[in-house]
Amino acid sequence: MKDTLSVLALVALLSTGATVRASAPECQGHFVNPITDICWRCLFPLTIGNVAVAAGNEPDTENPSSPVQICPMSELYRIGIAIGYWEPFALTDVTRAPYCMVNLGGFSISAGKLGSGGGKRQGGDDTAAFYHVHWYKYPLTWWLNIITDLGCMQGGDMDIGYLSELDPTWNDSSLASVLSPEAFLFANPVAQGACAADALASAVSMPLNSLFWCAGSHGSLYPFTGFVPDQASPQAASVLLSERMAYKLHRQGMIMNSVGQNNKVCFEYPSPVMPKDRFRYQMVNMYPDSARCHPFGRTVMAWEAGHATPASRQNFGYLIWRKRNCVFL
């Protein structure tokens, strides 16, 4: 994430008289414990070339066929070992309360009506919902020195990368269509019916990148807004909006991805269309699920029991895992 964005957001909040308060009644959360709340087995499989040296419970993506890679570096070249692993790189808050920082201890930023938007249920449907989403840069691999090569991990400090309250497109489908005009092509029963194949694929293995508009069992990745027209469960809706935010940031050029192919593994590339199979999610708030993570689009039915209460204020936090292919020097 760009540090400049966080600075601008903070300046905007402070210049309008925003203050930090302990917690609003509808806001709750806790800091993520990097030891006990993280599914460390989700780091695997670890590969050298296309050979797994440490197996994992979930399927893996494509990896370079050769373990030795020669990468251009200015006018010279560097030789290194192609490795692949799953990197914990971002956190998301999904909340009904504007400026509720779920993964930062559950405190609220009192900003008045700044960026609170006009999120309302659409069409009078009682199953509809609206949530705000916050995206955090979370360089956990860097903090714990799990990998020592800077080219093979996200460095720097934890930072706020995106606040949907400051984005006028998040609560307006018409404005959101400017960023994703192709959304109109998939707003029909045929395109949405095709998502059944993506739901099945993500349930048994990994999602289908060819069905890029689908979020598996969770619904549609379009439009890039906080509206969920048919909320099957709060957990499913919150995962869907985390996936939407990931796609939205891809479209805005804020997330770069590696490629598990010979030569291409040397660099990272922008991906206007998110490669869904290179991402996983794991709940860390309010009820951390440190035993497992899940590919994007996989149904929440297998794990949602016990991860919400009847008195829940519907605040959720997720850790986003990304497949990292790189050349280790």
The pLDDT tens digits for 199-246 are: 999 999 999 999 999 999 999 999 999 999 888 888 999 999 999 999
Residue 147, domain member (yes or no):
no
Residue 7, domain member (yes or no):
no
pLDDT in tens, 10-35: 444 444 444 545 456 778 899 999 99
- Work out how many domains the chain is built from and give that number: 1
Determine the pLDDT at residue 319: 97
Greater confidence, 270 or 113?
270
pLDDT in tens, 85-124: 999 999 999 999 899 999 999 888 876 655 544 444 455 5
pLDDT in tens, 278-296: 999 999 988 899 889 999 9
3-state secondary structure the chain: CCHHHHHHHHHHHHHCCCEEECCCCCCCCCCCCCCCCCCHHHHCCEEECCEEEECCCCCCCCCCCCCEEEEEECCEEEEEEEEEEEEEEEEEEEECCCCEEHHHCCEEEECCCCCCCCCCCCCCCCCCEECEEEEEECCHHHHHCCCCCHHHCCCCCCEEEEEHHHCCCCCCHHHHHHHCHHHHHHCCHHHHHCHHHHHHHHHHCCCCCCCCCECHHHCECCCCCCEECCCCCHHHHHHHHHHHHHHHHHHCCCCEEECCCCCHHHCEEECCCCCHHHEEEEEEECCCCCCCCEECCCCCCCCCCCCCCCCCCCCEEEEEEEEEEEEEC
Residue 184, domain member (yes or no):
yes
* Average pLDDT taken over every residue of the chain: 85
Residue 11, domain member (yes or no):
no
Q: What range defines the domain where residue 237 resides?
A: 17-109+119-134+167-328
Residue 181, domain member (yes or no):
yes
**Can you give the pTM of this predicted structure?**
0.88
